[in-house]
């Protein structure tokens, strides 16, 4: 059985940050270094997500920080899976923060490989903000050299979608 505090934390992470903060999140593509002259590309599409509370580490003391697993399936020009973990905390139901690491494996506009993304979300008295960035140098195979940012949008029916702005060297 899930503890009431964990249920509240899960509701906050899924509801407040994802539903409110992501739709209006402002993320930027970090500047590239080196001599590449790549243009920023933009893809978007739907995704499915399952977030589940994880048991605390064995022997760990009770903590106000919850740990959750992330299981995603991306569709569209980013086609693949995302797996990761989230750490989140919430104080009074109106303020809190989360961080997450996610490994995405699949294809991006036909180029296969994997990459990691880092989520940072914060809610201050109900006002949310979210940044999701590609971890530098995390791209593999045909996605080597990938950089960029992602926004998450949730419509009024709860359907999730992504907007991914990225740069990638021209030759895999």
The strand ranges marked E within 3-110 are 41-53, 65-74, 78-90, 96-108
Residues 140, 144, 149, 152: is their CA dihedral positive or negative?
negative
Strand partners, 96: 90, 123
- With the CA atoms of 50, 15, 125 and 96 taken in that order, what torsion angle do they form, in degrees rounded to the nearest 10? -10
Alpha-carbon separation of residue 18 from 15, 53, 161 (angstroms) = 6, 16, 11
Other beta carbons within 10 angstroms of residue 99's beta carbon come to 14
The answer to whether the CB of 70 falls within 8 A of the CB of 100 is: yes
Element (H, E) at 4: helix 4-11
- Residue ranges and CATH numbers for the domains of the chain are 4-27+41-54+66-167 (2.40.350.10)
Token pair 């809190």 is found at: 96
Digitized pLDDT (tens) for each residue of the chain, 172 residues in all: 344 444 444 444 544 344 333 444 444 444 444 444 568 999 999 999 999 998 876 666 667 788 899 999 999 999 999 999 999 988 877 889 999 999 999 999 999 999 999 999 999 988 889 999 999 999 999 999 999 999 999 888 989 999 999 999 885 5
Find how far residue 156's CA is from the centre of its chain. Answer: 20
């Amino acid at each position: 059985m899930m503890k009431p505090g964990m249920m509240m934390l899960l509701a906050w992470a899924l509801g407040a940050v994802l539903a409110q903060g992501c739709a209006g999140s402002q993320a930027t593509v970090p500047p590239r270094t080196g001599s590449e002259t790549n243009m920023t590309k933009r893809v978007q599409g739907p995704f499915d997500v399952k977030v589940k509370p994880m048991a605390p580490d064995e022997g760990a003391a009770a903590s106000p920080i919850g740990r959750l697993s992330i299981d995603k399936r991306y569709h569209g020009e980013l086609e693949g899976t995302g797996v990761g973990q989230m750490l989140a905390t919430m104080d009074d139901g109106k303020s809190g923060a989360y961080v997450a690491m996610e490994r995405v494996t699949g294809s991006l506009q036909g180029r296969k490989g994997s990459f990691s993304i880092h989520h940072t979300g914060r809610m201050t008295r109900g006002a949310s903000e979210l940044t999701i960035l590609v971890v530098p140098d995390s791209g593999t195979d045909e996605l080597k050299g990938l950089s960029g940012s992602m926004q998450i949008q949730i419509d009024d029916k709860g359907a999730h979608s992504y907007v991914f702005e990225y740069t990638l060297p021209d030759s895999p």
